[in-house]
Amino acid sequence: MKISYNWLKEYIDLDIPADELAEKIERSSVEVDSVIKPSDGLKKIVVGKIVEMENHPDSDHLHICQVDVGEDEPVQIVCGAPNAQVGKNVITALSGARVADNMKIKKSKMRGIQSNGMLCALDEIGYPKDVVPKEWADGIYFLPEDATLGDDVYKYLGMDDALIDLDVTPNRGDMLSIYGTVHDLAAIYNKPAKFDLDKVSETSDKLTSDQIQSDVNDEIAWTYLNRVVNDVEVKPSPLWMQVRLWNAGIKPVNNIVDITNYSMLKFGQPMHAYDLDKLSGKVSVRYANDGEKITTLDENEVELDSNDLVVADDNGPIAMAGVIGGMDSSITADTKNVLFECAIFDPIKVRKMARKHVIHTEASQRFERGVDPMAVEDVLSSASEMAREIANGSVTNDVLVGSKYEAKKAVIEISVARINHVLGMELSAQEVIDIFERLGFEVKATGDDLVVTIPTRRGDIHIQADLIEEVARIYGYDNLPSTLPTTTMTTGGLNEEQQLIRDSRHILEGLGLTHAISYALTTEEKAKMFMMGESAQTDLSYPMSSDHTTLRMNLVSGLLDDIAYNKARKVDNVALYEQGRVFHKDNEDVVKPDEIEHLAGAMTGSLVDNSWNQPAKNVDFFQIKGIVNEYLETIGLNGEISYVSNASYPEMHPGRTADIFVHGHYVGFVGQVHPKIAKQFKINETYVFDLNLQTIIDLPKKEQSYELVSKYPSIKRDIAMLIDKNIENDSIVKVIEKRGGAYLVDVKLFDLYEGEHVPEDKKSLAYSLTFQNKHDTLVDDDVNNVMDKVQRNLEKEFNVEIR
Amino acid sequence: MSLKDDLTKLRDDGIAQINQATDVNEITKEIKVNLLGKKGPITQALRGIKDLPVEKRPEVGSYANEIRDEIQNALDAKLKELEDKALEEQLVAEKIDVTLPSTPVAKGHPHVIQSIIDEICDMFMGMGYEVKSGPEVEEDKYNFEMMNLPKDHPARDMQDTFYITKEILMRTQTSPMQARTLEKHDFSKGPLKMISPGVVYRRDTDDPTHSHQFHQVEGIVIDKNITMGDLKGTLEYLLHQLFGNKYDIRLRPSYFPFTEPSVEADVTCFKCDGKGCDVCKHSGWIEVLGAGMVHPNVLKMAGVDADVYGGFAFGLGPDRFAMLKYGVEDIRDFYLNDVRFLSQFN
């Protein structure tokens, strides 16, 4: 809400700059979005009077005006406004003026006639179009007749006021009014709030209850009061009232409607005014019927259902209760008799209705946050009195009570010790009592124990913690001590699982992969690619976009999206990893999926850029396998890591994909993305791995150990062979290891050749075997015997030809 | 000529020959062998000693040894000289342009948000906090109900939610970890000091300042004597560590259903140092986190005696921190994983 500083000052003595006041409000009450003075940025805009006017000889709509701006000579200004009129005081931008949007006004010629300024409409000096009254929407604005010619216009239009825009949290509905804000400032600055309610003068001899009856569902309207004002003259409201409204961002409409809005700004109590003569039968507050329709004040037709709240007459809805009024019963220039409504509607129901129909109004905003139940009748009276004063109405003698809820003031017992305990302070009882009394709370003190009674305007205060907050904010958070918790000692730190996850990230980064964080919500199709096991999918019930409908069940597809994003930006070398959760469900009936930690990587292009001394090497299966393997080795899993060819992943290259096992447990896969999937993602050849990190976390780890480095020399022997192409390296190595004897410590493939000079169904392999006896020098004979054995067995098992 | 004279001449000729040598091989393979080898004149001379009269043998023998040593020293010196020279030449020849680019090395980068989360966790672990992670698919009960946000609470509107079923949702905040840990914590074993980082989700349309997925870090401390002053001190420590000591910190009243009193913490705007600019909407301050004293209802619902125990909780957004700290203008950059973006962070 935009709070007018000038308006505040009517009720509290404040003499500080507006910025300073805003800062104080922010530190003590609610957030301040901005502090604006409407005249900021404007220059040389003064009151002028059109003393002469003639038609422009070369135009059918321009007028040549002589404008008296309090100088010796009038200023000649050419003006195209249709309502320009001799004798009117108008907003005059002189030559050199700055108007809205920082536009500069210069002397110029308009169709050959000298024009030394501009006569302005309200929007031309910065008023948003939606607050400009209808009657001034299409022409220049007429200032009061008693305005002093040559004066700056700002004070007449309230533009010299500072407007403090409060961003009110849901609990502080009281701050959505001058009344509530004044009370809070009174507490903050320890000054009295001078707020007097107008006493209504019941000038009519008529009764409200003779003119209308009401039938109210008090579940909907906890309090529902009406009063009739007869024989009103509907016309624009006085300028001072219009200023207050437009400075708060509300468009002045007519004196009756303006009174309701003015009352709302002043007291925080929304009101509505109906044209009594347009109502038929009685006024009822009820749930809407399904399919019932209403045309609202902003001329939209809304279809209602049985959860919606309406005020209705015998013909149907006349308002969406607490949200917006209906067009048909609205106040017009012809209205004679007004029915004012002042009520409290159920906050939750109002909120639901406003939300459902996306109609958020000044009224609904306030009802949702709660209004002061004790002020309803006073506000109704005050508004009726205003209608008597500015619309010459006669106020009926009674208030029609449809429902009335007797609010109870909250009473909270609290000790000063408790307050100090929570805040970490040593305030005296008197200091605490002072704060409460400044807030307008009643306090009964018995030594340290206080009984605090809360006025109903502060509906947010129910419990001790609420009172403690009041003390803290009025005393000032700046004045709180700054300490650290004193407790018995606790040991912080990561547990094993968290440490492993963190280590995993560091290892992969060390191996050249960059940490990516992709979206966990993806498309149904991508969610179920690259699956490492059966799982039902988890869908959002109301997704926001078709790109994010389903919880991912793999990390790879997200990484492929990332690679595609990079490729589209001409970045072809990408090496990413992601650590995060995938969401699996055993079957459709499970509602809450298991969240499984995964670790995945994706690589395309080359890991290291091309350079002058080293050509780039495109990533291949063996490079990514090396990265995965190095990761698994570093993590220190206890057990052998093995890779088994698997052609059954639909999204993976059938000949270039391996399942990864650790000590026989399936932990994931590594390989090349299927070319048709790569095409679908619009990416180049890409290699990926996905590991079930939870399995890795759960698997036993090796204890860090150490073996004496042998001082005896080792012996190396090479063995080369021609072998069937389809025999896998693993099975050859297994035979070598099995037959290699106790001293074989390492088997390394150092050459693989297929092609020329090798039969088509064969390949040539060469291994280097390392032998070592830790306790003695090996003799050639020992090794020779073993090599013979290895050779014989290779020949026997695979029919190899040793070369 | 006596044998001694022969030796003297041998030495003089040998040393002259050595001094003229220009090549290491010449010295080691020719001169050295010629002079000192088994068939060389010195050896021959020494062999000839046995033909001398006994009384003369020691003198000549010792002279011969002297000569041999002299020749050896001359050889060594020359050898060193030549080797030094050769090395010097080699070094000159080996000179490279050290300004040529280095051989590229594969290097991965941490994600900036993860780095901030790790930094925050490390800071709190140092103060004895344990780290917990919670489910991203959460029950309405923990995400809202137990955080004092009953159905129809207006503050639920502030967190538009992705629901899976009526009761199951993508967590909108890490705060449910308050309820989850409170529910399980055994206070007879000491205070609860916990920090919980994680991913959260909101039903938002992605744009430069909104992301349907982002991160939060939740913290909570509950014991018998935890004060609001402790909250203030903790937040000041955290923010000074993260943003630097030169910035001021301001606490403002705010509203969260699960804390009372509630505060928001602002830090001096880094861009303008508090003078006011577009980033801070001309206020000089940037809002960085929300916090407060845990609401008694939250404690009660988790089965904790709110008359005995109390404390503070806070929640902060690493995405926002990263945006503020590094001037990242579009939150989507964190999730689109352009390597040119990611590789700027170490």
The amino acid occupying position A337 is N
A224 backbone dihedrals φ, ψ, rounded to 5°: -145, 110
DSSP A488-502: S----B--HHHHHHH
DSSP string, A627-689: HHHHHHHHHTBSS-EEEEE----TTEEEEEEEEEEETTEEEEEEEEEPHHHHHHHT--SEEEE
Query: Does residue A193 belong to the interface with chain B, where contact is any CB pair within 8 Å?
Result: no
Q: How many Cα atoms within 13 Å fall on the side-chain side of residue A255? A: 24
Nearest Cα neighbor of A299 from A334, A260, A325, A271 is A325
B308 contacts on A by Cβ (under 8 Å): none
Q: How far apart are CA B111 and CA A446, in angstroms?
A: 59
E-strand ranges in B150-284 read 168-170, 192-201, 213-223, 249-256, 259-268
Confidence of residue B136 (pLDDT cuts 50, 70, 90): very high
Structure tokens at B135: 């489910």
Residue of A nearest to B343 (CA): A514
Contact flag B251-A545 (C-beta cutoff 8 Å): no
Of the candidates A31, A538, A591, the beta carbon closest to that of B252 is on: A31
Q: A63-68 — which CB contacts under 8 Å span 24+ positions?
A: A64/A113, A65/A119, A67/A92, A67/A117, A67/A119, A68/A149
**In DSSP terms, which residues pair with B262 in a beta bridge?**
B254, B292
Chain A positions in Cβ-Cβ contact with residue B213 (cut-off 8 Å): 519-521
CA-based nearest residue to A376, from A347, A401, A410, A396: A401
Give the whole-angstrom CA distance, residue A570 versus residue A465: 57
Contact A598, A690 (CB under 8 A): yes
Contacts of A206 (CB under 8 A, 6+ apart): A228, A230, A394, A396, A397
CA angle A675, A677, A683 (to 5 degrees): 75
Strand order in the sheet with A744-753: A744-753, A762-771, A715-724, A801-802
Nearest residue on chain A to B125, alpha-carbon basis: A492
pLDDT score at B158: 59
> What is the distance, to the nearest Å, from the Cα of residue A186 to the centroid of all Cα atoms in its chain?
33
More confident: B271 or A748: A748
A515, A574, A595: best mutation site toward chain B, by most B Cβ within 10 Å?
A515
Place of tokens 């003078």: B275
How many helices (H) and strands (E) would you count in chain A?
A: 21, 40
Q: What φ, ψ does residue B344 adopt, rounded to 5°?
A: -80, -15
8 Å CB contact of B168 and A26: no
SS3 of residue B250 by DSSP: strand
Q: How far is CA B30 from CA A557, B23, B73, B75, in A?
A: 74, 10, 16, 11
- Supply the pTM of this predicted model: 0.87
| Cα distance between residue B198 and residue B182, in whole Å | 18
Contacts of A487 in chain B (CB under 8 A): 190-191, 193, 221, 223, 225-226
pLDDT digits (tens, 9 = 90+) for B68-81: 888 888 888 888 88
A523's tokens: 């498309």
Q: What is the C-alpha to C-alpha distance for residues A642 and A494, in angstroms, rounded to an integer?
A: 30
User: What pLDDT does B157 receive?
Assistant: 65
For the stretch B232-260, what's the b/e string if a residue is b when 16 or more beta carbons lie within 10 angstroms of its beta carbon? bbbbbbbbeebbeeebebbbbbbbbbbbb
CA distance B12 to B17: 9
Phi/psi for B17 (5° steps) reads -60, -45
Q: How far is CA A665 from CA A555, A583, A641, A668, A754, in A?
A: 20, 21, 9, 9, 33
**Residue B68: strand, helix, or coil:** helix
Q: How many CB atoms lie within 10 A of CB A535?
A: 21
Residue that the structure tokens 């093995």 belong to: A642
CA triple A763-A767-A770, angle to 5 deg: 170
- CA A749 to each of CA A717, A736, A753, A767, B237: distance values in angstroms, whole numbers, following the listed order: 12, 11, 11, 4, 56
pLDDT value at residue A404: 95
Residue A238 identity (one-letter amino acid): P
Strands (E) across A388-542 are located at: 394-395, 400-403, 411-415, 442-446, 449-453, 514-515, 521-522
Q: Does pLDDT of B45 surpass 80?
A: no
Quick check: B128 and A491 CB within 8 A?
A: yes
Residues of B in contact with A425 (CB under 8 A): 227, 229
Extended strands (E) in A58-173: 63-68, 75-79, 89-99, 103-104, 108-110, 113-115, 117-119, 142-143, 163-167
Task: Measure the CA–CA gap between A438 and B143, rounded to whole angstroms.
Answer: 37
A374 CB burial (10 A radius; 0-12, 13-18, 19+): middle
Q: Compute CA distances A191 → A15, A266, A431, A440, A452, whole Å.
A: 12, 19, 16, 11, 20
Which residues on chain B are in Cβ contact (under 8 Å) with A472? 228, 253, 261
Q: Hey, what are A159's tokens?
A: 């533009």
Nearest CA in chain B to A462: B260
Q: Name chain A contacts of B155, Cβ cutoff 8 Å.
A: 170
- H or E element that contains B304: none
Rg over alpha carbons for chain A, rounded to the nearest Å, is 41
The H or E element spanning position A259 is: helix A255-267
The closest alpha carbon to A294, from A213, A376, A374, A357, belongs to A357
> Tokens 């701050």 identify what position?
A175
What tens digit of pLDDT does each residue of A497-512 get?
999 999 999 999 999 9
Q: What is the crossing angle of helices A621-635 and A496-510, to 10°?
A: 140
Terminal-residue alpha carbon distance, chain A = 91
Q: Please name the residues in contact with A460: beta carbons below 8 A apart, sequence gap of 6 or more.
A: A171, A172, A173, A174, A370, A466
How many Å apart are CA B24 and CA B313, to the nearest integer?
80
Per-residue pLDDT at B42: 76
Shortest CB distance from B228 goes to which of A472, A595, A608? Answer: A472
Question: Quick check: B35 pLDDT over 70?
Answer: yes
Check if the beta carbon of residue A259 is closer than 8 Å to that of residue A387: yes
Whole-number Cα distances in Å, A306 to A301, A303, A338: 17, 11, 29
Residue B141's CB is within 10 A of a number of other CB atoms, namely: 14
Count other Cβ atoms within 10 Å, centred on residue A540. Answer: 19
Confidence of residue B344 (pLDDT cuts 50, 70, 90): very high
CB pairs under 8 A between A and B: 270
pLDDT average, residue stretch B149-165: 80
What is the spatial distance between Cα B63 and Cα B46, in angstroms, rounded to a whole number? 10
Q: Residues 6 or more apart from B210 whose CB is under 8 A from it?
A: B202, B204, B331
Q: From the centroid of its chain, how far is CA A185? A: 30
Q: Inter-chain contact A485–B260, Cβ cutoff 8 Å?
A: no
pLDDT per residue as tens digits for the range B167-179: 999 999 999 999 9
Sorted by sequence, the CB contacts under 8 Å of residue A67 that are 6+ apart come out as A48, A49, A50, A51, A74, A75, A76, A77, A90, A92, A117, A119
Chain B residues with CB under 8 Å of A172 CB are: 255
Q: What is the DSSP string of A172-213?
A: -GGGSSHHHHHHHHHHHHT------PPPP----S--HHHH--
A211 is written with which tokens? 């003119």
What is the distance between the alpha carbons of residues A685 and A618, in angstroms, rounded to a whole number? 9
Residues 532-551 of A with CB under 8 A from B: 538-545, 548, 551
| Average pLDDT of chain B to the nearest whole number | 89
**Closest-approach residue (CA) in chain A for B193:** A490
| Regions of chain A short of the pLDDT cut 70 | none
| Burial status of residue A323 (CB atoms within 10 A of its CB: 0-12, 13-18, 19 or more) | buried
